[in-house]
Amino acid sequence: MRADLKGRLIIQNGSDMHVHLRDEAILAAVASLTARQFGQALVMPNLTPPIVTAEHAIAYRERIRAVLPPALASFIPRMTIYLTDDTSPDDVRRAFRKDNVTGERAAEAVKLYPAHATTNSAHGVTDIKKTYRTLATMEEIGMPLCLHGETPFHSLQRVPQMDRERVFIEITLLPLLQKFPKLKVVLEHVSTKEGANLVLCDKSGRLGASVTPQHLLYSFTDMCEGGFRPHLICMPILKDEVHRDAIREAVSSGSKYFWAGTDSAPHVAGKKHSHCCPFGVFSASLAVEAYLEAFDQMEALGDNCLENFLSFNGPAFFGLPPSPGEIILERKAWAVEEPIRVTGAGDIWPFLYEPDPEKRQKLSWQIVVE
């Protein structure tokens, strides 16, 4: 990272190592927003039906590329496949094999959703022991396992929202790390001090974590203060300040095992404002600026801490090159002024958008479009 003569920050183009692009009309509306912010992104497979094979992943990648304008054709969608009780070792081996012509893999990672833990997770894993043969193959070939690290039920009892990541670490993640000592594992959207400290203290080099903008910037109190804010509700749910501060401390430590993963998840406003609000924060259109806001608050813009987090740590863990090119950011107060229109479905409210201009939170940095 460097500053130019105008005081603007110049950094290596970033990588979003956890994003939801959905499909069809929503995909067409949101894919270019991620591509304008990042040079590559790891795309989640929880569609309906889910992306469970190499062939599914390749077809989905082509649908993503088809909706991007020519100016964003260099954007690289990195695919994942959805782990089920029935995923076979041959499926993941085939997905991770590089194509002889393009050099691309069908998928860079496998995603584990505990059944019924989050959006479109009905096909998720019911008992992790059922996946052991597949995980052993992934360990052998070096294919990372991405975890939605929450346990919704334990011993037939519902686990409270605030405890689901902590319980998952205790009853699933720690035994998993012991069972497969060479398996590369990502604790996605880490939200607790227990998760942050586990990754920070791990010395194996095969455990990392993605971090969202909302888990760096906000707490549970922020989500509820002054009235419920549905566009801040996500899985894992925002925790108390002690957890947010632990994540901030871990990220600003300079550890190479934390990286940007927005978990940007679009839902149309009509559903977000309903009595049964779906989980997911849609940050695709301002993710880099939101991360910069958090690092500015942490006084962690120096020593390449921000650039490593945005641009280098995630790709390196997955064995990928960083996104080519650079982005420029200038210090400028601005706010999100418009929702995202989805043809035939309604509007998606971006992270920090409010229809009342007086209530819109301003950001301090903005990407320069040249």
Smallest Cα–Cα separation from 315: which of 256, 367, 264? 256
What angle do the packed helices 54-66 and 24-37 form, to 10 degrees? 70
Quote the strand ranges of the chain, DSSP E: 2-3, 9-12, 15-19, 40-43, 76-82, 109-112, 145-147, 153-154, 157-158, 185-187, 207-211, 258-260, 326-334, 340-342, 346-348, 363-367
Active-site choice (202, 263, 347, 356)? 263
Q: Is 263 a catalytic residue?
A: yes
Residues 337 and 16: their CA atoms lie apart, in Å, by 23
Q: Determine how many CB atoms are found less than 10 A away from the CB of residue 160.
A: 10
The CA angle 170-173-179, to the nearest 5 degrees, is: 115
CA 260 to chain centre: 7
Furthest-apart CA pair in the chain: how many Å?
Answer: 61
- Nearby residues of 57 by Cβ (< 8 Å), 6 or more positions away: 45, 51, 79, 80, 81, 95, 106, 107
Smallest Cα–Cα separation from 193: which of 117, 249, 263, 137? 249
Catalytic positions, written as ranges? 263
